[in-house]
Amino acid sequence: MRGSEREYDQAGVELIGPSDRVADAEVVALLADALRACGLATAEIDVGHAGVLDGFLDEVTGVARDDARDRARAGDLVSLLEIVRAAGLAPARVGQLRDAFRHRGPLAPFAEGRDQLPPRSASAVGELLELAELLEAAGVSLPVRYDLGLVAPLGYYTGITFQAIAPGLGSAIASGGRYDGLLARFGTDRAATGFGIAVPHLHQALVATGQVAIDDAPLVTLEGGTPSHTLRVAAALRGAGVSVAIGAVAESAGRPVVALRVIDGTRVERDGLVTPVADIAADLASVPDRREDRG
């Protein structure tokens, strides 16, 4: 009874099988292309790696490790640092973790000193450096930033993670990453990577840019005729993709209105001419939606 959604619309991909950085680069590039194809050119993609945090937590034991991971997933850096410090993580490591989680931008500052990080963290940064070269070669169509503090809220990610964000939107439009251990839980141990786009969030981001969908297809109104004839004509037109309202409408949502008078179940009158419904349907075929930038 919280008034929140239990289900939501997603569109995405899963690339199952390849386990190399080329596959990771492919899905990140595909996400960028997909968002641009939808008309969202203002999005940016943040890229991280699950191994950055894992390397530091390898040096933390017991319940503190789980508590620290929960705080990281919640984006609570202050509590994360307090937990690992209380659990005995060396001060130098605490400083490295703080600096890593605050880093959002090019990877250059971590390229040379990564060998000083915990082994799994250093390996993760190395994979991100490989990915950065591949994304540059792929000519990714949206800006990419490297966020070493990016921790996915779901715990099954094992490698590269990423999310797409847009100005003015409080939630990620899309998220994804590598989850090599997940399919093994369902009987098939295969490497996998992918992403999901939250369709409502994408819609919000598009609206925020001033972009609106314009539908030029006409709206048909039906008057006259018997109820059975009117419903038969409406069904035939709707089956052909024509939008139909029975009776006059007060508001057409900006669409052109075509007024028809029903003669019988197969014929209508339009502008004084009696015409077969099939001919009307062919003439009023739906016009594809187009977008208009009103920003």
pLDDT, tens digit (0-9, with 9 covering 90-100), for 189-210:
899 999 999 998 999 899 888 7
Q: Say if residue 222's pLDDT is above 50.
A: yes
Burial of 115 (C-beta count, 10 Å sphere; 0-12/13-18/19+): exposed
What is the pLDDT of the chain when averaged over all its residues? 88
Query: If one looks up domain 10-209 in CATH, what number appears?
Result: 3.30.930.10
SS3 66: helix
Per-residue pLDDT at 226: 93
pLDDT at 291: 44
Q: What is the pLDDT of residue 212?
A: 67
133's CB contacts (< 8 A; 6+ apart) are: none
Range in 10-14, 143-147, 155-159, 210-214 the model is least confident about: 210-214
Q: What CA–CA distance (Å, rounded) separates 130 from 115? A: 15
Q: Domain residues of the chain, as ranges?
A: 10-209, 213-293
CATH architecture classification, 213-293: 3-Layer(aba) Sandwich (3.40)
Structure tokens at 289: 């939606």
Higher pLDDT among residues 10 and 293, named by residue: 10
pLDDT tens string 156-185 = 889 999 999 998 887 899 999 999 988 888
**pLDDT band, residue 248 (cuts 50/70/90):** confident
